[in-house]
Amino acid sequence: DDLLATGGTAAAMASLAEKLGAKVTAIAFVIELTFLNGKDKLKNYPVYSLIKY
């Protein structure tokens, strides 16, 4: 995804992908807004961000 803010969208997409049989091995973002703590909703996955703000 391009932006990690609250993590809600990424968590929902990872859950949907897993329900459809996919194995989510990591989630990557271009920008992470660290002050919104979006990583907290993605604790089950490695999260990578190019830019942290």
Q: CA-to-CA distance for 20 and 18, rounded, in angstroms?
A: 5
pLDDT attached to residue 27:
98
pLDDT attached to residue 28:
98
**DSSP helix/strand/coil, 28:** strand
Q: Where are the domains of the chain?
A: 3-52
Q: What tens digit of pLDDT does each residue of 1-52 get?
A: 899 999 999 999 999 999 999 999 999 999 999 999 999 999 999 999 999 9
Sheet order of strands, 3-4 included: 3-4, 27-32, 47-52
